[in-house]
Amino acid sequence: MEKNKTKNRREFIQGGVRLSLSLALGGISGMAVSSAIKDDYVWQIDPFLCTQCGKCATDCIMAPSAVKCVHAFDLCGYCDLCGGYLKPDANEQSTAAENQLCPTAAIERKFIEEPYFEYHIDEDLCMGCGKCVAGCTSFGNGSMHLQIVHDICLNCNQCSIAQVCPSDAISRVKASEAYKVKGDFTNKPEV
Amino acid sequence: MVINIMKKLKYIFITFYFLLSTFYLFSQEQRFPKPEFETGYEQPSTITPEPRALALEYFDVLILIIVLSLASYFALKKRSRQGILWLSVFTLLYFGFYRNGCICSIGSIQNVVQSFFDPAYSISVTALLFFIIPLIFTLFFGRTFCGGACPLGAIQDLIVVKPISLPKWLNKTLGLIPYIYLALAVLFAATGTDYIICRYDPFVGIFRMDAKFHMVVLGISFLLMGMFVARPYCRFLCPYGVLLSWMSRFSKWHLSITPAACIQCKLCTNSCPFDAIDFPTNEKEVIKSGLGPKRFITYAVIIPLWVAAGIFVGAKSHTFLSKANPDVYLAELLISQPELKNDPENIDIETFLASGKSMETLVEEAEAIRADFYIGSMIAGGFIGLVIGFTLLNTVVFRRRQDYEPHKGNCFSCSRCQDYCPVEK
């Protein structure tokens, strides 16, 4: 009888605590659900905040980085002295390695017609250092810019580049609008 | 001819912009209009690969529920170590190596915390489900999540070679670290500083086969340690384990070592690598040790002292802790070493100066964050003090046990002991 009583008491306490724990869990999830969104989040760079500091190339957990230069062709001015392709002090406008700004020669130049070239970025070679972005933004239209490419990005819970980005350019965006490509951007009406 | 003139003009323009480049860093207008092509050139479109489909994220949640159900079935009903073992191999392959260890339930604590404190952040349903589902399962079946559904647990469980038994005092003392880790993780997530659980996850580098050097060293040393001290991360670090152990202590059902009556053969105690099996109480020893109501009362009375000490330590360390926040760090650096403003090497300071944000706003922001840290670290300190107080109190509380039983809070439901138990059903 005595034993039964202790057992009952213990079971009663256990049941009570269990109930309150489940209520607490329900409360937490309820509060979180009220602000939750169905969409998932991914990380993306705002090209207008980016200052091309070069940390994207070094701080991503992927090697080479999941940050790549993308070329918004809408914006490209097809400058024949491309600030993204050629070094500012290039000897001549040729494809010689000494003249190329890109340290990995990831920018391919394709001839269209005199004097225009199409510039295309080879994602496998690009390491996201942003040198061409700096060149294009300072001397050209800024059509080359850095973006996190989502078939490479592992979508870490905390982006290790975002943590060190000096201009706080990397933030979570909804997965349904995963890119901030400049061309799209300028076409969009101001909010 | 016209093209040539245009070309020359462009050169002039380029030289011009070259000189003024710094002023136009953020300009958005198109400086050079698109040329009109004569050869009918068609402009390619920018390639933007889609992120992982949302449906697949929900598929992960489904997999988690299935794995948890199977783990609970194997541990509680089927009593099958084999089942749990193969389940953890699957978990390691799927959530570990295939999903690269992200998102995991352990890290999701921070997402939940941030969604409470940061009005700009709203948690995704997947992250919330990863946080809540294992806790609910644990409230009913014990920590079957740890046994079968956690990739971090699985990788450690599979490499246990020759586990040694740690002395009880060491187990208890090291067992306090997860509480401190949890408190810090919540503090850092709430102040929007960092996700330390993710940053210092020792195994994620192994899952991805790629990590920073110090993380690889940490991961491998954890695995080497784990060969002898079984599941070191789970027992002495895992902050999610704290929550799971709270749930598990009051779980409705839990795995039992024997299918029928215990015959006190003591075989199971050798089987548990985690020192999670409680012995039957030796009443004589309890009386002899002199632990009694007196000590209970002493320990109960000093709990408020522990809490006060924790709050004091928290308040004292908030300045130090807040330095982990990049804004606070930058403000402090600029105040203490203003000469760094002329240092072109320091990218953070250069960017701050170029952004046009005034020093006053930066300091104001930093002070607000530090104030949050002040309150937050006092709460965290008080919490840790409370935990220390209760851990001490628990050492003098005796529950009468006649049989060998798993410790409901610490048992990972790995089902090893059930394999050893000679009792037939």
CB contact under 8 A, A77 and B3: no
Q: The tokens 């839990």 sit on which residue?
A: B254
CB pairs under 8 A between A and B: 196
Full domain range(s) for residue A23: 1-36
User: Burial level of A54, CB count in 10 A (0-12/13-18/19+)?
Assistant: middle
Q: How far apart are the first and last CA of chain A?
A: 74
Would you call A25 an interface residue with chain B, using a CB distance cutoff of 8 Å?
yes
Signed CA dihedral, A81, A87, A89, A92: sign only: negative
A61 and A122 share one domain:
yes
Task: Give the pLDDT mean for B261-288.
Answer: 85
CB contact under 8 A, B128 and A63: no
pLDDT at residue number B26: 43
What residues does A86 pair with on adjacent strands? Answer: A100
Q: Which of A36, A79, A154 sits opposite B10 (nearest CB)?
A: A79
pLDDT at residue number A190: 45
Task: Give the pLDDT mean for A3-14.
Answer: 80
CB contact under 8 A, A183 and B46: yes
Those residues whose C-beta lies under 8 Å from the C-beta of residue A20, and which sit 6 or more positions away, are none
A16 and A61 share one domain:
no
Quick one: pLDDT band at residue B37, thresholds 50, 70, 90? confident
The DSSP H or E segment spanning A15 is: helix A2-35
A69 and A107 share one domain:
yes
DSSP class of residue B21 equals G
Tokens describing residue B96: 């570990």
Measure the CA–CA gap between A16 and A22, rounded to whole angstroms: 10
Residue type, B127: A
Q: Tell me the shortest Cα–Cα distance from A125 to chain B, in angstroms.
A: 16
Quick one: pLDDT band at residue B12, thresholds 50, 70, 90? low
A91 and A147 share one domain:
yes
Would you call A151 an interface residue with chain B, using a CB distance cutoff of 8 Å?
yes
Measure the CA–CA gap between B279 and B180, rounded to whole angstroms: 28
A67 and A147 share one domain:
yes
pLDDT at residue number B284: 74
Reported as a single tens digit per residue, the pLDDT across A120-176 is 999 999 999 999 999 999 888 889 999 999 999 988 888 999 999 999 999 999 888
A78 and A146 share one domain:
yes
Helical H segments across B302-396, by residue range: 303-322, 326-336, 347-355, 359-395
pLDDT at residue number B11: 55
Measure the CA–CA gap between B79 and B255, rounded to whole angstroms: 8
User: Chain B neighbours among A 68-97 (CB < 8 Å)?
Assistant: 70-81, 83, 88
Helical H segments across B176-302, by residue range: 177-190, 196-199, 204-208, 213-226, 232-236, 239-249, 267-271, 283-288, 293-301
CB contact under 8 A, B128 and A33: yes
Task: Give the pLDDT mean for B225-242.
Answer: 96
B202 contacts B214 by C-beta, under 8 angstroms: no
pLDDT at residue number B379: 97
Chain A residues close to B3, C-beta within 8 Å: 114-115
A46 and A84 share one domain:
yes
Residue type, B56: L
pLDDT > 90 in chain A, percent: 47
pLDDT at residue number B41: 84
CB contact under 8 A, B125 and A160: no
Chain B residues close to A77, C-beta within 8 Å: 30-35
CB contact under 8 A, B26 and A53: no
Extents of the domains making up chain B: 57-280+408-420, 295-395
A25 and A52 share one domain:
no
Q: Per the structure, how many domains does chain A have? A: 2
Quick one: pLDDT band at residue B167, thresholds 50, 70, 90? very high
The DSSP H or E segment spanning A172 is: strand A170-174
The DSSP H or E segment spanning A164 is: helix A160-164
Residue type, B63: I
Would you call A115 an interface residue with chain B, using a CB distance cutoff of 8 Å?
yes
